[in-house]
Chains A and B, each alone.
Chain A
């Protein structure tokens, strides 16, 4: 009994540690380890391989173009699909320090960038990857 009492706490912590360790997912670690190894060797990484654009890799190209064609001080209305919300968050994050507005605040914008929308291009709008940009 005394021996059990001595061994039991360690055994219980081992069980706890093992149950924690079981929660790790190989898909969270191994592909990223390979990605990091490739980067450290000087290899290139495509946007499609990154988790931040897993939802829609083309959206990153669209945002790059909007950033390239608008000044950093501009207010840009970015019209994106309403769901999922991450489109809006990505637009605000990647276009910083520009002020990014949604469709309800187009009146405050100097530029309007429209993504993946089958809508008629505004007069004078510039085509972008999967969208267009117009100056107001």
Chain B
């Protein structure tokens, strides 16, 4: 099936996506390395495809391959023709690796490449098959692709009550748009999207840390640690929103750290794109963007010019997901959240909520924590023996995100233990690439660091 031309057509569609994204992203990346620009191009391209498909479908124009290609051509033309202001100076100039290549960086890069192959091969070997793909992401994408529209029944048909109609649509829209560009729905060839997103994540981690720490080793180690997260980069997640959200979290983390270091129009543009990517991928993405906004405000120590700058960045991180939610609600109407029992937040529910939270926390610690004990101890010791780094701002954000997951499981409409066992590991591992950014950034030594880019947090 994949050898019958479908893969080449999807690769060509991804090439168009990347090219259109590059035309847009070059405005956002004057100070970035080429590897970072490549990753931001992928993100911008996917947002563009989803937007084009959604806009054309909402306007009643069949978003077939020809229309999408024309839309991409217009976007590329506009990106080159409309005059824009380029950043006058690089706030965090790219640094060139000094001297011969570091053997540790070569080793880590090789590990990352092998781990990437260990996901790529099984992900594309057969049509996407996971339950979440069939019931949620793939079902919606296929319905959009075949209908050439946003069929109202994916939001309103009572027969589809189980398909999480409240979920955001970036992944189904991307699948439908790429299928349109590739000439048809091929659920094996379309799986290539997910290793491509993984590759973008690894490349972004490498490029960001190489630029900000001056250490290719730190970048390569971050990519290796992220790629080795096999519970995330597992064939079961080809076709779901986990891998795109992990990419969105790294995009948002990098954009936030850049905005903290030196705000610029391009940095705000990247924050905008990253916040939209996060919110569009998963509901947790909105939470992640909000938590980053809170961390930015706290990092400013609520004083002076730093606070004013933090407000701007935090405003982007809050307003973009909020606008996305308004748009999604206008599209799908009000949807009941059958997964959660919010009555537990009322004062009468507090005793039960506390009891549930204790059960959930102990389940997470005793079951999931025990299975990952070696990794957790290694991370804790590593944080103890290394110095603070530019990415430490992310640590409380990641911890708070896990804390919110515990709260969400506690108000589950179903058995909270069932929710923890079924979902916690899957959603927690989406944060690991962002954590690997923190860990690897601590590897960079002071001599690696570019002048004028001392850690601020």
- Evaluate whether A5 and B228 lie within 8 angstroms (CB atoms) in the complex, with A15-B374, A92-B139, A93-B134 already known: no
B159–A102 contact, CB under 8 A? yes
A15-B378, A89-B134 known; A21 vs B125 contact (CB < 8 Å): no
Q: Does A45 contact B (CB under 8 A)?
A: yes
- B230 contact set on A, CB distance < 8 A: 20-21, 23-24
Candidates A10, A13, A93; contact of B142 at CB < 8 Å: A93
- Whether B159 lies near A101 (C-beta < 8 A) is yes
A23 near B443 with CB under 8 A, answer no
Interface size class of B (residues with CB under 8 A): 35 or more
Q: How far is the CA of A86 from the CA of B225 in the complex (A)?
A: 33
The residue in chain B whose Cβ has the minimal distance to the Cβ of A33 is B121
A39 touches B134 (CB 8 A): no
Q: Please tell me if A122 contacts chain B, counting CB pairs below 8 Å.
A: no
Q: How many A-B residue pairs have CB under 8 A?
A: 134
Q: Does B138 contact A (CB under 8 A)?
A: yes
Q: Are A20 and B229 in contact (CB under 8 A)?
A: yes
B99-132, CB under 8 A of A: which get 1 and which 0?
Answer: 0000010000001000100100110111111010
> Judging by beta carbons under 8 Å apart, are B162 and A85 in contact?
yes
- Nearest to A108 among chain B residues (CB) is B159
Interface residues of A in 94-122 (CB under 8 A from B): 96-97, 99-102, 105
A74, B235: Cα distance in complex, Å? 33
With A33-B121, A50-B129, A89-B131 in contact, is A16–B159 under 8 Å at CB? no
Query: Taking beta carbons and an 8 Å cutoff, which residues of B are in contact with A?
Result: 1-3, 104, 111, 115, 118, 121-122, 124-129, 131, 134-135, 138-139, 142-143, 146-147, 151, 153, 157-160, 162-163, 221, 224-225, 228-231, 234-235, 372, 374-375, 378-379, 381-382, 385-386, 439-440, 442-443
14 A–B contacts, CB within 8 A, in A order: A12-B379, A13-B378, A13-B443, A15-B374, A15-B378, A20-B230, A32-B125, A36-B125, A51-B129, A85-B162, A89-B131, A90-B134, A96-B146, A97-B142
